[in-house]
Chains A and B, each alone.
Chain A
């Protein structure tokens, strides 16, 4: 101590700029590309590989032929032009894009799926962005029924009578809680609409349909195809599997023995079997279990299977989010007197879902791409249609151009989902806890 001079700082030091080599492009290049002789070599090799790939792809893609009637005509044009290399024959996209997008949907009715897609954009806006006007939620509520009616057509009474079932359930919850109690009202709100749909709805819509025949031309499921099919199955699966998955995750966390075991059983069975098996189950086996004579639309069966399949994955992703929350959040909510559903809705799920966003979105992306598997049970997804297009003698032997187009369409959808999820994560970030 005796040798240490005493010191008191009288002036605090101001921060200074870092040295010039510590910032800017020079620093970035040196650190990331040429930080040592090995890395410098790897950089140069990589640059050469990138150049080589682009040198082969770009002339092929950019020099592609857009106006031709068939693959052989494409080849004639190429040979006549005298370019030394192969070129793409994009003409097939020009000739068959409507099939890739709509399948065999009647071309004079293309406005219906397009209108449905636009309406869907309006309906999803208030869900995705909290700056969108809240009144649009009305569109969101009627969207499933409107979309069904626009896509499949037929009498308007079917969707309306079906929607009425949800109104009945909502009314029971809203006005029945006082007399039936919370649990009784919840059970009634599930059972009564189910009975209504099974036994009453068909008769009502039939009677209304014959009394007031309002409707548009109906289109059968087997005419759906291409991206329209992928989007219908994908969107329906995504929209329904999220709430179902959340309920399953809560069920798996529940202390109630039967609910817990049922959720675990469901999740493990569904996840333990490949999707393709479930799709075959939907297309072949399900008919054995249904009463004879019931004609349950194949696409509807596929949508249900895809929904169940991805809800099991969502459940596990959400369970991860629930488990990541500190115990204190549950206790904080409990100590304020919030009941189970309130604390889930207000405290636990907003945080758990935020943590699970990346997992949820990759499950959705996976689901959307998995819709191509329906080709194996005879539905015409984009890949199935590319086979159908090749079956035409004019385009026999064309592969890359179709696959690139299909791949690009899928990429646009999946990439926008991924970007949205990143944006959402940033927006919901509220500090370091």
Chain B
């Protein structure tokens, strides 16, 4: 069943009518530096993300791309510079951090679903406890988003009973239940079997079509080409190159980017 549905989505044209980039700034990072001990992981990062942008961040492993998006919701602490998310500056104030985290959704490589709770409970937990939504309303919202990621029938199962692709779609639904204005994806398809990558990408494409502001760390260059409006290439903790996908893939400027692209697209 899912196969038929997902292939439909893949084959159709991407609907770009809601994919609009506005002038409003969603995330503003300036002069950001981060060290792990003495190791300088992120160096002088300046990045402005406008509302409605779909940014793909790529680069070799260890280039700091995951660390960068994890700094945006303060899963990692930055030591220098400024990060402003939705007008709130990330500081050591726990109130600010919790506020930003509840506005910014995040999907992880290993899903990080809560294995002791059912799918539905996974989705309603944060709305109930953080947003103080009544349980009934939270469950309705959760079912709405579970339908959207096409697994409403799994609501009463536990994460351990689902396949990797289904788990990642639940993770996306769980984030959406908080009605985030920005979504971060940290290699959402890297831990999946090839057969399941597509169903997750399709969900992400749908999200993009609705105008969600997205930052994706991914190696799915097809997704970058189809959906992104900007591709950022990172190496050694720095932003080496950023451009529109078409330009980025056909006409890379720096040697490092050329080498990287030849390696991942060559085979």
Contact A433 B102 (CB under 8 A): no
Choose among B75, B105, B113 the residue that contacts A334 (Cβ–Cβ < 8 A): B75
Interface range, A side = 20 to 34
- Asked if B160 contacts A428 (CB within 8 A), the reply is no
Task: Give the contact stretch, choosing among A289-297, A347-355, A356-364.
Answer: A347-355
The minimal Cβ–Cβ distance linking B179 to chain A, given in whole angstroms, is 12
Asked if B129 and A335 sit within 8 Å, CB to CB, the answer is no
Per the 8 Å Cβ criterion, residues 253-281 of A in contact with B are: none
Q: Is B134 an interface residue (CB 8 A)?
A: no
Q: Are A336 and B116 in contact, with the CB atoms below 8 A?
A: no
Q: Are B159 and A433 in contact (CB under 8 A)?
A: yes
Interface residues of B in 64-105 (CB under 8 A from A): 73-75, 94, 98-99, 101-105
Any B CB within 8 A of the CB of A338:
yes
**Smallest CB–CB gap between A80 and chain B, Å?**
65
Inter-chain contact A430/B115, CB cutoff 8 Å: yes
Does B174 make an interface contact (CB < 8 A)? Answer: yes
Q: Return the contact of B160 from the options A328, A333, A342, A430 (Cβ within 8 A).
A: A430
Checking B112, B116, B174 against A430 with a beta-carbon cut-off of 8 angstroms, the contacting residue is B116
| B112 near A331: Cβ-Cβ < 8 Å | yes
From residue A302, how far is it (CB to closest CB) to chain B in Å? Answer: 37
Are B75 and A335 in contact, CB atoms less than 8 angstroms apart? yes
| With known contacts A328-B108, A328-B110, A433-B115, A346–B158 Cβ distance under 8 A | no
Question: Are the C-beta atoms of B130 and A332 separated by less than 8 Å?
Answer: no
Of all chain A residues, which has the CB nearest B129?
A342
Within 8 A of A (CB), among B94-153: 94, 98-99, 101-106, 108, 110-116, 125-126, 129-130
Flag B146-180 by CB within 8 Å of A: 1 or 0 each: 00000000000011110000000000001100100
Inter-subunit contact B130/A337 (CB<8 Å):
yes
Tell me what chain B mostly uses at the interface: helix, strand, loop, or mixed. Answer: mixed
A328 → chain B closest CB, angstroms: 4
A342 to chain B: closest residue by CB? B129
In the docked arrangement, what's the CA distance between A334 and B70, Å? 11
Complex Cα–Cα for A366 and B104 (A) = 47
Contact A329 B130 (CB under 8 A): no
User: For residue A329, which residues in chain B have a CB less than 8 angstroms away from its CB?
Assistant: 112, 114
Determine the residue in chain B with the shortest Cβ distance to A354: B116
Nearest B residue to A351, CB-CB: B116
Report chain B residues within 8 Å CB of A336: 101-102, 125-126, 130, 174-175, 178
A371 CA to B192 CA in the complex, in Å? Answer: 53
With an 8 A cutoff between CB atoms, is A85 at the interface? no
Chain B residue at minimum C-beta to C-beta distance from A339: B98
Contact A332 B112 (CB under 8 A): yes
How far is the CB of A128 from the nearest CB of chain B, in Å?
Answer: 18
When distances are taken between beta carbons in the complex, the residues of chain B under 8 Å from A332 are 108, 112-114
Q: Is A432 an interface residue (CB 8 A)?
A: yes
**Considering the complex, which residues of chain A in the window 112-142 have a beta carbon less than 8 Å from any beta carbon of chain B?**
none
Question: Which residues of chain A (304-339) have a CB below 8 Å from chain B?
Answer: 326, 328-329, 331-339
Determine if B110 and A338 form an interchain contact, defined as CB atoms under 8 angstroms apart.
no
A431 within 8 A of B: yes
Decide if A431 touches B159 in the complex (CB within 8 Å): yes
Contact partner of A351 among B73, B108, B115, B158, CB < 8 A?
A: B115
Contact among B101, B104, B160 for A433, CB-based, below 8 A: B160
CA distance A342 to B98 in the complex (A): 12
Complex formed: what's the CA distance from A328 to B75 in Å? 11
Most chain B CB within 10 A, of A332, A339, A428, is at A332
Task: Please pick, from A337, A347, A430, A431, the residue contacting B101 in the complex, using a CB distance under 8 A.
Answer: A337
In the complex, what's the smallest C-beta–C-beta distance from A222 to chain B, in angstroms?
A: 47
CA distance A346 to B129 in the complex (A): 9
Known: A337-B178, A339-B98. A331 touches B130 (CB 8 A): no
Between A329, A331, A351, the greatest number of chain B beta carbons within 10 A of the residue's beta carbon is seen for A331
Q: How far is the CB of B48 from chain A (nearest CB, A)?
A: 22
Residue among A326, A339, A428 having the largest count of chain B Cβ atoms under 10 Å = A339
Taken together as a complex, chains A and B put the C-alpha atoms of A354 and B158 apart, in Å, by 16
Most buried by A among B94, B103, B108, B126: B126
A342 / chain B contacts, CB cutoff of 8 Å: 129-130
A430-B158, A431-B160 as given contacts; A335 in contact with B114, CB under 8 Å: no
Q: Is the beta-carbon distance between A337 and B102 smaller than 8 angstroms?
A: yes
B123 vs chain A, min Cβ distance (A): 10
CB distance from B116 to the nearest CB of A (A): 5
On whether the beta carbons of B106 and A338 are closer than 8 Å, the reply is no
- Residue contacts A-B, CB under 8 angstroms, 14 given: A326-B112, A329-B114, A331-B112, A332-B112, A335-B73, A335-B75, A335-B105, A337-B98, A337-B126, A339-B94, A350-B116, A351-B114, A430-B116, A431-B159
Additional A-B contacts beyond A331-B108, A351-B115 (9; CB < 8 A): A334-B74, A334-B75, A335-B105, A335-B112, A337-B98, A342-B129, A351-B114, A431-B161, A433-B115
| Chain A positions near chain B (C-beta within 8 angstroms) | 326, 328-329, 331-339, 342, 346-347, 350-351, 354, 428, 430-433
6 nearest CB pairs, A to B:
A431-B160, A337-B102, A332-B112, A336-B126, A328-B112, A337-B101
